[in-house]
Amino acid sequence: MGNCFAKSNKSTAEIVPHHDHSTTVRLFASTTAEIVPHHDHSTVVRLFGSASGTNTAHVRLALLHKSVSHRFTASVADTPLLQIGSERISGTRDFLLQYIEAKFPHPPLVLRGVAGDDRTTPLPVSATVLQHKSIAWHANRLVRWAEDLGSRGGKRKGNGGVDPTVGTPRMEVRKFARSYSQLLEMMLEHAQMEERVLFPILDVDDPAICKAANEEHARDLPIMNGIKEDIKSIGVLDNGSPAYQEALSNLSKRLKSLQEHCKEHFVEEEKQLLPYMEAAELSKEQQRKLLERCLNVMQGTHSHLINFLLEGLVPLEAMQYLDLISLCSNCEQMVSMLDISK
């Protein structure tokens, strides 16, 4: 799985910096891309590797975490290759990550913190928490984007000129709608994963909490559907009209409500429900099988929305999620989940 971490050209209304990272994670790009990071290094690194290889993805995430300027070129080779000046380095993923850590020590990679090395947190719990983080980031991003839309009242930015990164107000609303549709699909699949795979296991220990969590999912549906309808309404209204402004106001309120519900719900799950999974003391093999079931339920998220999911994570978290995916015992299944050609 190749990652293209191209510097974002989008407005702050559309892309909200995440954890002080101004560069957006862009995955699966087959084109050559240059990274212009937060902190510039005098040495420019070139990376060659498969645009659909997890090893290449890990190396690129590590370079992004280090804020190392680098240029990626897709190749047919399965093994990534780094070129730093006249020096060319190739090898296993771990070897290259260790090399990057030695060459660019700050900030540290904390390699022992990747998923699979943590012997205390069950694999399905790690995946669930990372999904929570991504959903929360995207929800916050849309809230801020909606607020920016409302403050502009459907007017173009600047002195009446068109912002080429956003386009016309109607084009921007379409982009907003697409982002929300992606978030909605991921949220629905995440809820189904918990209801079908995790909750039945945890229900043995505390049926009341699981029932409350299921009810919480159901309560969010009207808000989620209401947001979808609000966006549709905005898309057909004349920008700048009173009705347009009112629709933007309603949209912002619903998004904030959804954001708060998600935040509260995720905190409750992580503090009250998921610890039962640790208490179950599942073997590593049981955890792997359970993880595979979780990933299978979220088929859309782990195919055409994998870029979207990882975009909501900082580089180290994205590496952790890739590690979880790579634990799938069925290689064909793993490749299928990451195949964006579907």
Locus of tokens 């060659």? 48
Report the DSSP beta bridge partners of residue 46. 71, 83
Non-local CB neighbours of 210 within 8 Å, separated by 6+ positions: 199, 202, 203, 273
Q: Could you report how far apart the first and last alpha carbons of the chain are, in Å?
A: 15
Q: What secondary structure does DSSP assign to 206-247, as a single string? A: -HHHHHHHHHHHHHHHHHHHHHHHHHHHHHHSPTTSHHHHHH
Per-residue pLDDT of the chain (342 residues; tens, 9 = 90+): 333 333 333 333 344 333 433 334 444 333 333 333 444 445 678 999 887 777 888 888 888 888 888 898 988 887 899 999 889 999 998 899 999 999 998 888 865 444 444 557 899 999 999 999 999 999 999 999 999 988 886 665 554 444 556 668 888 999 999 999 999 999 999 999 999 999 888 877 777 777 877 888 888 888 898 899 999 989 888 887 889 889 999 999 999 999 999 999 999 999 988 888 887 888 889 999 999 999 989 988 988 888 899 889 988 898 889 888 888 776 666 666 654 334
- Are the C-beta atoms of residues 33 and 91 closer than 8 Å to each other? no
Least Cα distance to 252 among 274, 282, 226, 270 occurs for 226
> Which pair of structure tokens corresponds to residue 266?
């995720």
Give the predicted TM-score (pTM) of the model. Answer: 0.77
Question: Which residues touch 246 (CB under 8 Å, ≥6 apart)?
Answer: none
- Give 190's contacts (C-beta < 8 A, 6+ positions apart): 128, 131, 135, 298, 301
Longest Cα–Cα distance in the chain? 63
Helix (H) or strand (E) holding 263, with range, is helix 242-268
CB count in 10 Å sphere of residue 297? 20
Contact by Cβ (8 Å): 71, 46: yes
From the number of C-beta atoms within 10 Å of its C-beta (0-12, 13-18, 19+), residue 242 rates as exposed
Give me the amino acid identity at 290.
L
- How crowded is residue 159: how many other Cβ atoms within 10 Å of its Cβ? 5
In this structure, what token pair is assigned to residue 282?
């599942």
